[in-house]
Amino acid sequence: MNFSSALIEKGVDAFSSLPGIGRKTALRLVLHLLKQDTNVTEQFGEALIKMRRDIKECEECHNLSDDKICRICADQRRDRSLVCVVENIRDLMAIEDTSQFRGLYHVLGGIISPIEGIGPNDLNIESLISRCEKGGVKEVIMAISPTIEGETTLYYLAKKLQPLDIQISSIARGVAFGGDLEYADEITLGRSIVARTPYER
Amino acid sequence: MNFSSALIEKGVDAFSSLPGIGRKTALRLVLHLLKQDTNVTEQFGEALIKMRRDIKECEECHNLSDDKICRICADQRRDRSLVCVVENIRDLMAIEDTSQFRGLYHVLGGIISPIEGIGPNDLNIESLISRCEKGGVKEVIMAISPTIEGETTLYYLAKKLQPLDIQISSIARGVAFGGDLEYADEITLGRSIVARTPYER
């Protein structure tokens, strides 16, 4: 792309440095901002800069937070005896969006992956153990992706938590609601038969 | 989407105010920026703010520019007797990217569209006429989309320029290079037969 303006080129460079945004999309975004008032761009840029500067990690659960303790951990109406372990913040938000969970979370910040060189010490595992050791936690729910790395992480965490008197559970796996059986993959379908649940009348 | 942080929510709001970016994509971009150093976001935001504040419209051709006169108009190696009329800056950039045109441009800023309430006075037409009246321009090339609005604009411009001794031309229309004839639309294919060009041996 030939730019007749170095300023536009820098704007396009900025946007196209983001994941999933190519130079054509970046140009479209830049031209959009140039059509608006100057203060639209100022508010846009300043919102992002302020967000990045002021964001903190919750000291309890490692969720991203505006304060030292995140909104979820600070909410006294939530069940503090339940801790749901998630890989990252996106998974936490996905579970929050279901409105089905009223306990607390613990964000690992990744999963154990020897291929990518991520070991237990790179994750927020020590803080999970010490949270559980403090007492008050009755159940830890593992909401970790059912991949090989996920299963490894789950196994490691279960072993670490074994000495404590805490129930460990894992989110249910099976055929998705609304999903056609014939399109379910073999492993999921096979496991969903083995792990069948009794029909409740 | 439930946000446990007002800062993240504002970041997502900022990104999703851009065209073609939904809230899920916006969240992905926000989480990407939060993973990077603070100065990455600062540079990103400041590049856009600086761009919006400092950008100017070229006094000659209405192209977006860093200075009073854009790089293209300031380039003395370009043929000043040729002026290519385009609808907007994106079209200008598309033509620049072909490296086939070494003249100057004139950005109309839109096309005449009675439905959208855009008349000749809303466009940079007066400045085109006065550029041509100054002398030195031998040919005006109309690179305007072949739509009804585009044809109307072309007709209006041609009439305005008629009193001046200037050649008016329009970019060639026909079947695209590499395009299969059977997939070309009927109007394009029909016109390309009527407006056939002699084969050059």
Task: For residue B113, tell me if it sits in a domain.
Answer: yes
The pLDDT value recorded for residue A193 is 82
Q: Answer whether A32 sits within 8 Å of B19, measured CB to CB.
A: yes
Q: Are residues A152 and A104 in the same domain?
A: yes
Cβ neighbors of A153 (< 8 A, separation 6 or more) are: A108, A111, A112, A123, A144
Q: What value does the mean pLDDT take over residues A140-154?
A: 90
Residues B12 and B82 in one domain: no
pLDDT under 50 in chain B at which residues?
none
Q: Between chains, do B5 and A66 touch, taking CB under 8 Å as contact?
A: yes
Ramachandran quadrant class, B111 (left: phi over 0; alpha: psi -120 to 50; beta: rest) = beta
**B200 found inside a domain:** no
- DSSP assignment letter at A59: T
B82 lies in the same domain as B36: no
Same structural domain, B112 and B153? yes
The owner of tokens 């051709």 is B61
Looking at the structure, do residues B97 and B165 belong to the same domain, yes or no? Answer: yes
Question: Mean pLDDT, to the nearest integer, of A142-169?
Answer: 91
What range defines the domain where residue B123 resides? 64-170
Q: Is A22's Cβ below 8 Å from some Cβ in B?
A: no
* Domain shared by B46 and B70, yes or no: no
The pLDDT score that the predictor gives to residue A3 is 83
- CB contacts of B32 in chain A (<8 Å) are 18-19
Query: What is the reported pLDDT for B19?
Result: 94
Task: Tell whether A13 lies on the interface with B, counting CB pairs under 8 A.
Answer: yes
The answer to whether residue B193 is domain-embedded is no
Q: With an 8 Å Cβ cutoff, are B18 and A29 in contact? A: yes
Mean pLDDT of A24-37: 93
On whether both A157 and A101 belong to a single domain, the answer is yes
Q: What is the ipTM of this complex?
A: 0.81
Tokens of A4: 């007749």
CA dist B34 and B145 (Å) reads: 42
* For residues A195-201, average pLDDT: 76
pLDDT at B191: 82
- Spell A51-71 as b/e; 16+ CB within 10 A means b: bbeebebbebbbbbbbeebbb
Q: Is residue B19 part of a domain?
A: yes
Amino acid type, B145: S
- Picking from A94, A61, A60, A71, the residue whose alpha carbon sits closest to that of residue A171 is A94
Mean pLDDT confidence for A25-38:
93
**Among partner residues B1, B6, B51, which is closest to A10 by beta-carbon distance?**
B51
For chain A, positions 38-97, list CB contacts with chain B under 8 A.
38, 41-55, 63-66, 70-72, 89-90, 92-93, 96-97
- Asked if residue A103 lies in contact with residue A97, where contact means CB atoms within 8 angstroms, the answer is no
If one compares B192 and A82, the residue with the highest pLDDT of the two is A82
With CB atoms and an 8 Å threshold, state whether A25 touches B28.
no
Looking at per-residue confidence, does B199 or A126 come out higher? Answer: A126
Q: Is the pLDDT of residue A32 over 90?
A: yes
Please judge whether A63 and B4 are an interchain contact, meaning their C-beta atoms are less than 8 angstroms apart: yes
* Upper half-sphere CA count for residue B145 (Cβ side, 13 Å): 13
Q: What share of chain A has pLDDT > 90, as a percent?
A: 70
Q: Give the phi and the psi of residue A110 in degrees, each rounded to 5.
A: 145, -175
Over residues A50-54, mean pLDDT: 94
A155 & A191 share domain = no
One-letter identity of residue A155: Y
> What sign has the CA pseudo-torsion B74, B77, B82, B85?
negative
Q: What is the pTM of this model?
A: 0.79
For chain B, the domain total comes to 2
* A158 reaches B (C-beta below 8 A): no
